[in-house]
Structure 1
Amino acid sequence: MAGTKLRFGAFIAPFHPLDENPTLAIERDLELVQWMDRLGYDEAWIGEHHSAGYELIASPELFIATAAERTRQIRLGTGVSSLPYHHPLMLADRINQLDHITRGRVMFGAGPGALPSDARMMGIKVAQQRDMMDEALDAIVALLRGETVTRKTDWFTLDEARLQLTPYSRPSVEIAVASQVSPTGARAAGRLGLGLLSIGATSVGGFNALASNWAICEEMATSHGQSVDRSGWRLVGPVHIAETREQARQNVRFGLEKWIYYFREVAALPLAPMEGDPVDALIASGLAVIGTPDDAIAQIERLERQSGGFGAFLQLAHNWAAFEQTKRSYELMARYVFPRFQELNTNRRASLEWARDNHAALLAEQVQAVGSRVVQHIQEKGTENISPEILAMLPGQGPAKPA
C-alpha cells in the first residue's frame, strides 16, 4: 500500500536584481508558476514586500488571481501576507474572494513581515510586529471560518464583523504561519491549529530548530484543544540542479552573487558568513543544493531525519541561473526527485521485477504459443512461406524442406 505522498512546490519571494526590466521579471514569475503547473508541482507561495527593490510583488492576491487564470491544478498561497500591514477584515475578505475565484485553490500564509524597511515606511515598530501578527491572526482565522468577530486593539477595531460570502473551502481556506528560528510561528500555528511554513529550514539556525519548533507547535495545540498534522508542515530551501554537479555550479554563476549581495547588504535578513567560493560555502553549510537530482534527494532525506517528517518541500525561488536553466532544474526535480518521495514508480518496479523473475517461464509460454500457430499453419499450407528462423524454433524441425 502506498505511503504518504510528499508534496512539492516553490516559495516565490521573489528575488530580482536591479539590472533588468521589472515588468518582465514579474511576467517570468508567472511563467514559472505555469511551468510548475505543467510539471505537476503541488503548490506555489507568493510573497508580499514593499521596499528594497528586489522582491517586487506587493500584492500576492493580485498575482494569485492572475496565475489562477493561467493554470489548471497547482494550489496558490500568500507566502506570506504581512498581517500588521492590513486591517484583518479587509485581508480576510480578499482571501475569501480568492477562495471562490480559484475554486478552492488558494491558501493563506501569514507572517509578521520580513523587511523592517517595509514596517518603517508605515510607522510600525519592528518590536511590535509579532504581537500585531498574533492579534490579527486570531481575528482573521475566526473570520475565515465564518465567525462573527468583535474585537478592539490599539491598531484595529472589529464591530460584529463577518464575511458576507460563505467560504468556498470548508471550514475555510488552508492557513499556515511562517516560522524561521524563533518559536513565534510555531506557537501561533499550534494555538490555532494551523499549518507551519518553515521558511529558513536549511539555514543552520532554522535546521537546528526544526524538531523543537514542531514540538512547540504540538504542545501549544494540545494545551489549546487544537490538533496539528505534519502534512501541513512545509519546509523551504534553495535548490538548483542540473545533469552534473559541474553544470549546476556553472549555471548559478549567472546570478548568485547578486542574491548574496541582497541578503548581506540590503534585506536585513541573516545570511551565514561565507568564506572563499560562495558555491562551496552554500553547499558546505547545507543551506543550498547546487548539484544533481541525487543531491536534492539527499537534502530532503536530511530534512526528514532532522524534522521527524513533514508534508511538503518548497524550493526557494531565485535567479541564480538563467531562466531556461532554472526551468530545467524544476523539470529535473519533477522527473527524478518527485518519484523518490511520492512512490510514483513503486508499482512499476514491482511489475518489472516480477516479469524479470518469471522471464524464463513466460518466454517458454510465448514460444510455445507462437510455435503452435506455426505448426497449425504448416499443417494447412506447408512451409513454403515460413522463414528458416521460425522453423528453427519448432521442436524437432531441421532445415526447411520444400512443401
Structure 2
Amino acid sequence: MRFSLYSELQLHPGKTPETLYAETLEQIVNADRLGYDAYAAIEHYFFPKFSISSNPTALFAAAAQRTRDIRFRTMLHALPYHNPTVLASVIHATHILTGGRYEWGVGRGHGWIPLKAGVPLDEHARPRYEEAVDLLLEALENESFSHHGTYFDVDDSHVVPFVDTPYRVYLGGTSDRTYTLAAERGWGVAVPPLLPYKVLEEQLDLYRSTCAEHGTEPDIVWIHACHLDDDRETALREGRDWINGFIQGNCSPLTEYEKPPADGLMAAGYGFYAAGIMEQLAEVPYEQLIEEDYVWVGTPEDIIARIEETIGVCEGLKEIGITVNAGGAPHWMAIKNQELFAERVVPHFKGRVPAAAEA
C-alpha cells in the first residue's frame, strides 16, 4: 500500500497566493521527511477557491530541489488546454528537473473550464481529447514521429528534451470512458475526492473488468480529505471549518459563477457537471459528510477503520491519498495532519501483502 498527499491549492480569503505556495512547499518538504510516497497536485484554472494550481510542474521542479525521495504527480494535466506535442516536452523536462521522480496523469479537466478558456462545448470534445492522448503518447515515446488524424496533423516532428523512460500514468474523472481507457492502457485511476465508494462503484467495477479483459492490473488511488486528533471531539471541532471550506471551494465554480449551459455540457460528455451533484454536495451537513464517508475525521484509530472498510470493498486499491491543506486550513493544521497520519495510521498498513498477491 502506498500513501500520498493530494492538493488542489485552494486559495480562500485571508491568504495570498505567495503564502499558499510557500506553505505548500514547506508541506512537501515535511512529507518527504515523513516518508510519504508521493505528492500530487491538480492542474486547474480560473476559480481560486477551487484551485490556483495552474502550473504544477513548476511547483514540483521547485520542490525537487528541497527533497530527496518523494515522488511528484500532476493529477491531472488538463489536456484540452495543451498542445500534446508541447506537453510531451514539458513532461520530459519535469522528469529531468525532478531527478526522475515525476508521474503524471491526463484528463479533460472539469466541465466548467472550457468556456472560460474559449474552448467550445460540443460533440468534438471527447474524440478530440482521445486523439490528443494518442498524439501525446506518440510524442513521449518516439524520438521522431508523425501523426495524421482528425484533429491533429503532424509530419516528421520530434520532442526536445527527449527522455527514453516509462512513466507511471493515472487518469481520473467520473465518465465511464475514463475507466475503460485507463484499463486498456494499463494505467492507474485516481478516485476524485469527496465521493464515497458507492458513487463510483459501477465505474470501478468497469475498470476492473476491462483490466481483466486486456490483461492489465488495476491500480486504484483513493483520495479523501482527512483530519485527525488523538481526541475525537477535538478532531471534529478543528476539522469543521476547513472541511466545509473544502466542499465550498469544490462547488464554487457552480455556486459563485454563471454555469455553463446544460445542453453544451451534455454534448461535450460532461454530464456529471449538469447533474446538480456538486450543488447538492454543498448542502450536505458536516456530520453527514463524515457519517456517509465523504471525508475522514476522527482519531487515528477511526481513520484506520475507515481505510480498512475501503480496502474491504475496493479490490485493486494500491494507494491512499489524503488532502489536508484545503478550504483555508491553517498551515500548522496541515502539518499536524501529515504527521499524525504518517506516525499513527501508515504503520498499520505498511508491509501488508495485498490480498490478491497473497492468494
Deviation at 1:249, TM superposition (A): 1.1
Which among 281, 284, 299 is matched to residue 288 of structure 2?
281
What does residue range 304-315 of structure 1 map to in structure 2 within 5 Å?
Answer: 304-315=311-322
Aligned twin of 2:180: 187
What does residue range 238-249 of structure 1 map to in structure 2 within 5 Å?
Answer: 238-249=225-236
Deviation at 1:124, TM superposition (A): 3.1
Aligned twin of 2:270: none
Aligned twin of 1:177: 171
The letter of the residue matching 2:229 is A
Q: Report the Cα distance in structure 1 between the residues aligned to 2:246 and 2:122, rounded to whole angstroms.
A: 24
What does residue range 144-163 of structure 1 map to in structure 2 within 5 Å?
Answer: 144-146=140-142, 148-163=144-159
Q: Report the Cα distance in structure 1 between the residues aligned to 2:172 and 2:283, rounded to whole angstroms.
A: 32
Which among 183, 208, 216 is matched to residue 228 of structure 1?
216
Aligned twin of 2:249: 262
The letter of the residue matching 1:183 is D
Q: Is the 8 A contact 1:254 1:322 kept in 2?
A: no
Alignment of 1:133 onto 2:133: no
Which among 31, 36, 40 is matched to residue 45 of structure 1?
40
Q: Secondary structure at the match of 1:139?
A: helix
Deviation at 1:188, TM superposition (A): 1.3
Alignment of 1:75 onto 2:71: yes
Alignment of 1:31 onto 2:26: yes
Q: Secondary structure at the match of 1:238?
A: strand
Aligned twin of 1:354: none
Higher relative contact order (CA 8 A, sep 6+): 2
**Residues 122 and 18 (structure 1 numbering): CA distance in 2 closer, same or farther, change over 3 Å?**
farther
Which among 282, 294, 301 is matched to residue 294 of structure 1?
301
Larger Rg, first or second structure (1 or 2): 1
Identity over aligned pairs, percent: 22
* Aligned residues between the structures: 330
What is the Cα-based RMSD across aligned positions, in Å? 2.5
Q: Report the Cα distance in structure 1 between the residues aligned to 2:129 and 2:172, rounded to whole angstroms.
A: 11
Q: Map Cα deviations across residues 179-236 of structure 1 (whole Å, 9 max, x no partner).
A: 33x212111112222222222474355442364133244156x1xxxx4323x32121
Moved more, 270-279 or 97-106: 270-279
Deviation at 1:20, TM superposition (A): 1.9
Q: Is the 8 A contact 2:247 2:282 kept in 1?
A: no
Which among 189, 203, 209 is matched to residue 196 of structure 1?
189
Alignment of 1:337 onto 2:337: no
Which among 324, 340, 345 is matched to residue 332 of structure 2?
324
Q: Report the Cα distance in structure 2 between the residues aligned to 1:126 and 1:67, rounded to whole angstroms.
A: 38
Q: Is the 8 A contact 1:167 1:173 kept in 2?
A: no
- Structure 2 unaligned segments of length 5 or more: list them: 260-272, 353-359
Deviation at 1:81, TM superposition (A): 0.3
Q: Map Cα deviations across residues 14-66 of structure 1 (whole Å, 9 max, x no partner).
A: 22213321211122122211111111000111111111122011111111111
The letter of the residue matching 2:323 is L
Q: Report the Cα distance in structure 1 between the residues aligned to 2:13 and 2:224, rounded to whole angstroms.
A: 23
Deviation at 1:243, TM superposition (A): 1.2
Deviation at 1:244, TM superposition (A): 1.5
TM, length-normalised to structure 1:
0.75
Alignment of 1:112 onto 2:108: yes
Q: Map Cα deviations across residues 142-162 of structure 1 (whole Å, 9 max, x no partner).
A: 322236432244543322333
The letter of the residue matching 1:242 is D
Q: Report the Cα distance in structure 2 between the residues aligned to 1:324 and 1:286, rounded to whole angstroms.
A: 25
Aligned twin of 2:99: 103
Q: Map Cα deviations across residues 226-261 of structure 1 (whole Å, 9 max, x no partner).
A: x4323x321211111111211111112343333333
Aligned twin of 2:58: 62
Q: Report the Cα distance in structure 1 between the residues aligned to 2:212 and 2:239, rounded to whole angstroms.
A: 41
Q: Report the Cα distance in structure 2 between the residues aligned to 1:49 and 1:303, rounded to whole angstroms.
A: 28
Q: Secondary structure at the match of 2:338?
A: helix
Which among 92, 98, 118 is matched to residue 88 of structure 2?
92
Q: Map Cα deviations across residues 270-323 of structure 1 (whole Å, 9 max, x no partner).
A: 348469983211111111101111121122112212211321111134435422
TM, length-normalised to structure 2:
0.83
Aligned twin of 2:237: 250
Q: Report the Cα distance in structure 2 between the residues aligned to 1:115 and 1:63, rounded to whole angstroms.
A: 24
The letter of the residue matching 2:169 is I
Q: Secondary structure at the match of 2:9?
A: coil
Q: Map Cα deviations across residues 104-131 of structure 1 (whole Å, 9 max, x no partner).
A: 1000111111251354422232654433
Deviation at 1:75, TM superposition (A): 0.3
**Residues 310 and 32 (structure 1 numbering): CA distance in 2 closer, same or farther, change over 3 Å?**
same
Q: Is the 8 A contact 2:105 2:171 kept in 1?
A: yes
Moved more, 153-162 or 77-86: 153-162
Deviation at 1:99, TM superposition (A): 1.1
Q: Secondary structure at the match of 1:283?
A: helix
What does residue range 360-379 of structure 1 map to in structure 2 within 5 Å?
Answer: none
**Residues 211 and 113 (structure 1 numbering): CA distance in 2 closer, same or farther, change over 3 Å?**
closer
Alignment of 1:303 onto 2:307: no
The letter of the residue matching 2:170 is A
